[in-house]
Structure 1
Amino acid sequence: MLSLRSIARSAPRTTSRLAIQSARPSISAFRNTARLQAKWTPFLRVAAAPFSTSMRRFDGNEELIAKLDSEIKVEQDIGDPETYRGNVREFIENGPWELQDEQGSQEVKLSRTYNDEKIEISFSVADIASIEPSSGMNDPDAAYDDAEYDNEPEVSAQSGGANTKGSVNQGRTSGGNVRVAPEDRVAPADRPELDDEEGDYGEGEQQPGASFPVRLLIKITKDSQPGAMEIEAIAQDGEMMIESVFFYPQPDLADPQTAEGEFKRRMVYAGPRYDNLDVELQDLMDQFLRDRNIDTELSLWLPDFVDYKEQKEYVGWLHNVKNFLS
């Protein structure tokens, strides 16, 4: 009886243990499943975007060509670049010079003969491109005036501590008086600089009659004599100013076409500084040029022609760029 009771009591426990064990999954099963999941990776297909995200190339030639065409019309309204201006044409037609003006080249040449001499003048339209608007900061004369003012000794003390009448610059001396600038010692009506300030000229504009400098290279050869003389000069405001004079024993050294010739040219004695020559010698050299029509008339004509030539080449440049982009 006791044994049957113990069997009956232990039966439910055994049954529950079996039920619990059967309900628990084995650890090995989980491990195998985890391995399978690690090996299997889902493939996600990336859908293509319905529109392009890359930057579209913008062709701006049309706008650039339109601007170039507008610039061409503006320049043509100023004047026909293919027609010489009146003063430019008259100088060539009525003078002894032969003009060598090649389209697309910034270098221009004038040539003539004088007795047994062959004279050739070369200049460039690049001189007009190097002009900078005038300003007090870039004026060497203004800087020199400031330095002279700074180095000027102080005005001695005046009796009674009085100031000079009309002085405007503030700055006291050791005696307690107001320092008087040189311009304050001259009456305002007598100051020459006020004459230049009366004109209404904008910044960078030149006064009437003023011109930009044109650099010249004058080469002179003679049939009866060996060698060549080369003169560097500047034409501006109707004046022809000589900067240097060279002499080459061989004519081809004045215009070498090879590296060897250029080396020989540099080895030639360049001569003394022109401004160190005797004044009478400089005057005779100026007269030498005037006798060959390298004079005031030429100096006045050169800036006008360079201005015309620069406009002509600029219009040609606009046309070339426009045609290239079209």
Structure 2
Amino acid sequence: MLSLRAFSRSVPRFSRSIARTSMRPAVLPKPALLQPWKQATKPAYAAFSTSSVFREPAAEGDVELLAKLDEEVKHEKASGAEDAKEQKASIDYTLQAGEWQVKDVAGEQEVVLTRKFGNETIRVTFTVADINNLSEDPMDDLHDDALGDEAEYNNQGRDVEGEDDILPPTFPARLDIAVEKANQGALLIQAVIQDGDLQIEEISHFKDAEIANAHTAEKDWTRQSLYSGPPAENLDPELLSFWGRYLEERGLNVEFQNMITDYIAFKEQKEYVSWLENVRKFIAA
């Protein structure tokens, strides 16, 4: 993960090779030959020859950068393997149970889940970019939370354990939930998942289902110009609770919400490792 990755590395690590000099041995000039006539027939090459035979990294720092990238790839693959296995099993189970179809393109941030419910087509869209929406210094947040909760735990007769037992902060995962019906347009429900809770922010109805999905800038502009309904916080609390039930019955229950946050973390980690490998290949080429 990106923001959570910083939390897992509270002490910065530096490549052991930074303190070394260049690994390339110095090229010493050869002594002059005794036969001067042979020197006249031998072509002279500049020290900075660009011939493929003598190809070297563009700069000395490239060697150190490549070493660091190799180290990072190995670390991410080793440290995230077990978590990724558990997340993948949980994600697959929830998606199969809900009969969700997945559109997840490698290298892209957006993921789309689709399923049928009666005469409705439900489309849930989210992005891995949301994982960046953690505080800049999660260690400070954990420290403050631990101090604030210590008295409460003691009052309840519980033992206060170390920071390892404190759950890290979660990121707000935003969802666009489109519910379409043939010839009836679509509902667009914008919500956010955080700390195991789904909060509805806005509920809109569009006669044109394509406007609800807004795959183009033109459709998005049209959607913004239409009345989208009041903020959900202004709705009657009882009415809002019925909307929560409406989503639950369509498969967006607590299990689904937990799966979304796992999916974002899982995909971001996979994309990060792929990014490291692609950047390394570019530098080494």
Superposition TM-score, scaled by structure 1 size? 0.60
Question: Structure 1 residues 194 and 61, CA, compared in 2 at 3 Å: closer, same or farther?
Answer: farther
> In the TM superposition, what are the counterparts of 1:53-202 in structure 2 within 5 Å?
58-80=59-81, 85-132=88-135, 133-134=137-138, 135=140, 191=152, 198-201=160-163
Q: Distance in 2 between matches of 1:320 and 1:259?
A: 30
Q: Is the 8 A contact 2:193 2:257 kept in 1?
A: yes
Aligned to 1:215: 174
Deviations 1:275-313 (Å, cap 9, x if unpaired)? Answer: 111122111101100000101011111111211111100
Query: Is the deviation greater in 304-313 or in 207-216?
Result: 207-216
Q: Is the 8 A contact 2:178 2:213 kept in 1?
A: no
Q: Secondary structure at the match of 1:281?
A: helix
Among 260, 272, 277, the residue aligned to 2:235: 277
Letter of the 1:101 partner, please give it: D
Question: Structure 1 residues 109 and 258, CA, compared in 2 at 3 Å: closer, same or farther?
Answer: closer
Query: Is the deviation greater in 127-136 or in 243-252?
Result: 127-136
Q: Is the 8 A contact 1:72 1:318 kept in 2?
A: yes
**Residue 210 (structure 1) shift:** 5.8
Q: Distance in 2 between matches of 1:265 and 1:241?
A: 22
Q: Secondary structure at the match of 2:214?
A: coil
Letter of the 1:201 partner, please give it: E
Letter of the 2:166 partner, please give it: Q
CA RMSD of aligned residues (A): 3.3
Report which structure shows greater RCO (CA 8 Å, sep ≥6): 2
Letter of the 1:217 partner, please give it: D
**Residue 207 (structure 1) shift:** 2.7
Unmatched segments (≥5 aa) in structure 1? 1-51, 140-187
Aligned to 2:7: none
**Residue 244 (structure 1) shift:** 0.9
**Residue 192 (structure 1) shift:** 6.3
Aligned to 1:250: 208
Q: Distance in 2 between matches of 1:64 and 1:284?
A: 55
Question: Structure 1 residues 193 and 106, CA, compared in 2 at 3 Å: closer, same or farther?
Answer: farther
Among 278, 291, 295, the residue aligned to 2:249: 291
Q: Is the 8 A contact 1:117 1:221 kept in 2?
A: yes
Question: Structure 1 residues 297 and 320, CA, compared in 2 at 3 Å: closer, same or farther?
Answer: same
Letter of the 2:126 partner, please give it: F
Question: Structure 1 residues 58 and 209, CA, compared in 2 at 3 Å: closer, same or farther?
Answer: closer
Q: Distance in 1 between matches of 2:203 and 2:216?
A: 23
Percentage of matched positions with identical amino acids: 34
Q: Secondary structure at the match of 2:106?
A: coil
Q: Distance in 2 between matches of 1:227 and 1:252?
A: 8
Q: Is the 8 A contact 1:239 1:295 kept in 2?
A: no
Q: Is the 8 A contact 2:84 2:266 kept in 1?
A: no
Aligned to 2:30: none
Deviations 1:123-144 (Å, cap 9, x if unpaired)? Answer: 11111122113446xx9xxxxx
Q: Is the 8 A contact 2:153 2:159 kept in 1?
A: no
Question: What is the number of residues matched between the two proteins?
Answer: 220
Q: Secondary structure at the match of 1:113?
A: strand
**Residue 91 (structure 1) shift:** 1.8
**Residue 70 (structure 1) shift:** 0.8
Q: Distance in 1 between matches of 2:92 and 2:104?
A: 13
Q: Secondary structure at the match of 1:282?
A: helix
